[in-house]
Amino acid sequence: MVLANEVKTTLKKKLGRKRLFYVCRDAERAEAGLLLGLANFFIVTNDGPYSRQLAKKYRNILIVRGKKILGTHEILANSAIKKKIRRGDFILLFKQMEKIEKICAERGWVLLNPPTALATRVEEKISQVKWLGALKKYLPLIKIDILKNISWGGKKFILQFNRAHTGGGTMLIDTAKKLNDLKKKFPAREARLAKFVAGPSFTANCVVSGKKVLLGNISYQITGLRPFTDNPFATIGNDWALPKKILNKEQLGAIETIARAVGAKLARDGWRGLYGIDVSIDEKTGRVYLIEINARQPASTSWESILQNEHRIMGGLTVFEAHLLALLKCASGQKIIPISNGAQIIQRVTKDTPRLPEPKLFKPIEFHYIRYENTEIDNDLLRLQTGCGVMAKHSQLNPHGEELSVFVRFTRSRRASNCPRAGAIITRNGRILLLKRHRYGYNYWVVPGGTPEKNENMATTARREILEETGLRAILDTQQPPLRINGTRDETYYFTKSFNGRARLGGPERKSSCPENHYTLKWVPIKELKKINLLPVELKEKLIKILC
């Protein structure tokens, strides 16, 4: 941790007796700054479960309590906060705002963020094209025009209005009706039309430090994945493990080229600190397209920095450290710390997602959650963060990602996800009876079973669940020890001595079945256990050793 101490010393010297106040709606946006251990670095944020949790650990969390969640400018307008901040103190924001530029100018506070006007010009969809100039060659751009002049040509395309956030202003136009409905509603509204790029998207958090561009790590952008969101264009997370598994050297090089070009243009215009780029890969041609520029601190910065800090060995900067040093005009010859693992995924408020209770976190499996008190559709509800990847491939969760999805499902149903589970291993003529689940594009297998009811022991639960789910009356083998799994929850699987009846799907698995979320009961050849995605993985490994 030698370099972290050097960064701390540099920042202490630069700040002197002045304080730095990171003002943000949600505390985790600035959490990475707490790793520096600076006495004069403060987070000013809303009251909430996570901010209170951080405040128990750190003294420099200033919580503004109120009847509603306040915006950044409303937090700064709080009378208690105004008294805390002195003339000459530094203010840092997650995203620039003209209102706060005026507030800071009036009160003599030093706002570190680059000008809002520049950030707006770079971020917004129409002005971005003009700002890019020659760099617009990286965009999948078709044209910019007002809606009444746009006609349907038979090919689907992406339509974006100038202002857009988390996919809200981005629409896939795949029918003449969709286009005509928009034209009737907003005939004179200007829009950007782009080629529809079918394929995975990636993001890179980078820093402009003086004239230098420091490249961050490329992460796979988790987008539109159900049940986490209803919006097919909403970004709901990042995976730092997947890019090197699915991108070739040319594509990695193309992303770096685009990131450097955008950073160099920002530097020439006087930008300092963090920016991000989003790119998409055409699945047919492999070409890399620039999709979006974030002229602000990207949302994944804090977790990326925490992961980087955990992997710091000999040197380098976290993206948050590089951001602070750049904003304070402190030169550094260090590069950003590389990482190749870790992820975060967000459950947004959806049409069928009620406001969640406080989730009961099951046994730790390398992830923790942040809960939000939002109720509006598409706002953040839960942020799940993990030290390993959650994606198997583009738009498909791996087993660890599915565990996060299970956690969300339990909290949505208002059940604790640490409930134990009991099941029965039923075999016949070289086959094992399993349930195959298809859920929002993800397929996996489980041994039939479920959670205990009141006053039930595990063996009773196993027999009841087997009868409900499969229609079989199973007699458990009391001579053979059951298989016990201590993972995300305690699981017990009994071997069966015999069974009566005919296997057929029943219980909630049958009643709640729908095309996007359903079970299939199947006798699977035991020799195929190695090939299928049976969860939990530890159970699969034990069954292979015993049965194969």
Rounded to 10°, the helix 2-15/319-327 angle is: 30
Q: State pLDDT tens for residues 487-544.
A: 667 899 999 999 999 999 988 778 777 776 788 999 999 999 999 989 888 899 999 9
Say if residue 178 is exposed, middle or buried (CB neighbours under 10 Å; 0-12, 13-18, 19+).
middle
Q: What is the DSSP letter of 163?
A: S
Do residues 52 and 63 make contact, with C-beta atoms less than 8 angstroms apart?
yes
The answer regarding whether domain 17-113 maps to CATH 1.10.10 reads: no
Q: State pLDDT tens for residues 442-485.
A: 688 999 998 899 889 999 999 999 999 999 999 999 889 999 98
Q: β-strand 431-439 against 442-446: which pairing, if any?
A: antiparallel
Q: State pLDDT tens for residues 186-213.
A: 999 999 999 999 999 999 999 999 999 9
Residue 144 has what pLDDT? 94
Name residues whose C-beta falls within 8 Å of residue 238's C-beta, 6 or more positions apart in sequence: 203, 219, 220, 221, 222, 300, 303, 304, 343, 344
> Tell me, which fold does domain 421-547 have in CATH?
Nucleoside Triphosphate Pyrophosphohydrolase (3.90.79)
Nearest to 467 by CA among 489, 445, 450: 450
Residue 359 has what pLDDT? 44
CA dihedral 113, 384, 402, 546 (to 10 degrees): 130
Nearest to 18 by CA among 45, 33, 38, 37: 38
Do residues 150 and 183 make contact, with C-beta atoms less than 8 angstroms apart?
yes
Q: Which CATH number fits domain 198-410: 1.10.540.10, 3.40.50.20, 3.30.470.20, 3.40.50.970?
A: 3.30.470.20
pTM of the model: 0.78
Residue 355 has what pLDDT? 47
What gap in Å lies between CA 525 and CA 264, rounded to an integer?
A: 58
Per-residue pLDDT of the chain (548 residues; tens, 9 = 90+): 445 678 888 999 999 999 999 999 999 999 999 998 999 999 999 998 899 999 999 999 999 987 888 999 999 988 999 899 999 999 999 999 999 999 999 999 999 999 999 999 999 999 999 999 999 999 998 999 999 999 999 999 999 998 754 445 788 899 999 999 999 999 999 999 999 999 999 999 999 999 999 999 999 999 988 778 888 878 899 999 999 999 999 999 999 999 999 999 999 999 999 999 999 999 999 999 999 999 999 999 999 999 999 888 767 899 999 999 999 999 777 889 999 999 999 988 887 664 444 444 433 345 678 888 777 888 888 899 999 999 999 998 887 887 787 777 655 554 445 578 999 999 999 999 999 987 656 688 999 998 899 889 999 999 999 999 999 999 999 889 999 987 667 899 999 999 999 999 988 778 777 776 788 999 999 999 999 989 888 899 999 999 98
